[in-house]
Amino acid sequence: METFHLLPYDPSWDERWDRFVMKGSMNGTFLQTRRFLNYHPRGRFEDASLMVLDGQELVAVCPAAAQMVGGRAMLRSHPGSTFGGLVIAPTLLRAPRLVALMEQLDAYWLGQGFTAAELKLTSDLFSTHPTDVLQYALYHAGYTDELEIAAYVPVEGRSYEELVAAYSFNKRYDLKKCVKAGLIDRPLHTHDELSVFYSLLCQNLRKFDATPVHTLRELVDFHDVRLCDEARFLGVFTPEGEMVAGACLFWFCQARVLHTQYLATAPLKGCVPSTYLYDSVVRAGLNLGARCVSFGTSTHDRGRVLNTGLIQNKEGYGALHSLNRIYTKVYRFGPYAGICSAWR
């Protein structure tokens, strides 16, 4: 059986890690780079990331953290990123190699005292190669999967007119009313504009007793320094200059996907600003040369609850569907039974 060399993450590898994720992998995104992950304050997570070497060649990384649940240590895809899982080189896209790697990883994590592992893979939507063989290797290793449904609009090879023609009648009607009302969209550049957008976002989430995952300071850091090439901010304004909708967008350059990280809107008499915002995002993707525009997931509780209104709204813009997969394996049963349910 093929043997790989497993190394715990060390900050001295940051540059090599990031170069592999962005240029040497087939399912890595900036969300799995140390440049992104390291924005979290030290001590927020107990890092348990791994690097996988084949000889001297880095062939995989696993951004992960150790978390205590019910007094037991769990290995989880890095909680500071939407996707974690295994980020692999195209050279690993061979079933026997990935099966052997998963056997080694499970043995290593069990030896480190973890009672279970959870890996949230990069969706195929954000990968440059299909990940079917990786999914098989996880199934072969005894992992079970849970599914989240997401929505996206394919824009490559389509004109704006063709894209709008795929909108529902109601969306096209609402869009015409927004145009008649004189709404315009433009990028957000200043800290004051980002602050207005963030206030709008907080107001939207407050209805659901929730807050943004990121603070305003973190979004400003993304805009100014850390993610100045990936994070884009868009605002929708009335003719009088009032912001009535806004978006934080992430640009995934390898897969050429423009993703809606945050959307926020305010009510406006006579039209629906959210319709204009969604259309603005589609146009932004088209102008960027995107392959598709991602509207994100429409589920809760690890895919068990479908937000029907949310998915129908996205489908109104001609959106298709993709899946996010969460893989889980419990290493020790008996007193550890029920661990997975405790996570959820």
The 10s digit of each residue's pLDDT in 205-238 is: 998 888 898 899 999 999 999 999 999 999 999 9
- Mean predicted confidence (pLDDT) in 54-67: 95
SS3 216: helix
Q: How do residues 108-138 score in pLDDT, each as one tens digit?
A: 999 999 999 999 999 999 999 999 999 999 9
| Residue pLDDT, tens place only, 143-189 | 999 999 999 999 999 999 999 999 999 999 999 999 999 999 999 99
- Homologous superfamily of 5-147+325-343: Gcn5-related N-acetyltransferase (GNAT) (3.40.630.30)
Residue 38 has pLDDT above 90, yes or no: no
**pTM exceeds cut of 0.75:** yes
Do 60 and 87 form a contact (C-beta atoms < 8 A)?
yes
Q: What are phi and psi of 147, to 5 degrees?
A: -120, 135
Q: What does each C-alpha distance from 227 to 45, 99, 130, 292 come to in angstroms?
A: 21, 35, 26, 20
Fold of 156-290: Aminopeptidase (3.40.630)
pLDDT confidence of 333, banded at 50, 70, 90?
Answer: low
User: Residue range 64-87: average pLDDT?
Assistant: 88
Q: What is the pLDDT of residues 98-108, one digit of tens each?
A: 999 999 999 99
Burial class (CB in 10 A: 0-12, 13-18, 19+), 5: middle
- The residues of the chain that CATH labels 3.40.630.30 are 5-147+325-343, 156-290
Q: Determine contact, residues 145/44, Cβ cutoff 8 Å.
A: no
Q: Does the pLDDT of residue 60 top 50, yes or no?
A: yes
Q: Could you tell me what percent of the chain has a pLDDT over 70?
A: 95
With b for 16 or more beta-carbon neighbours within 10 A and e for fewer, the 187-221 pattern comes to ebeeeebbebbbebbeebeeeeeeebebebeebbb
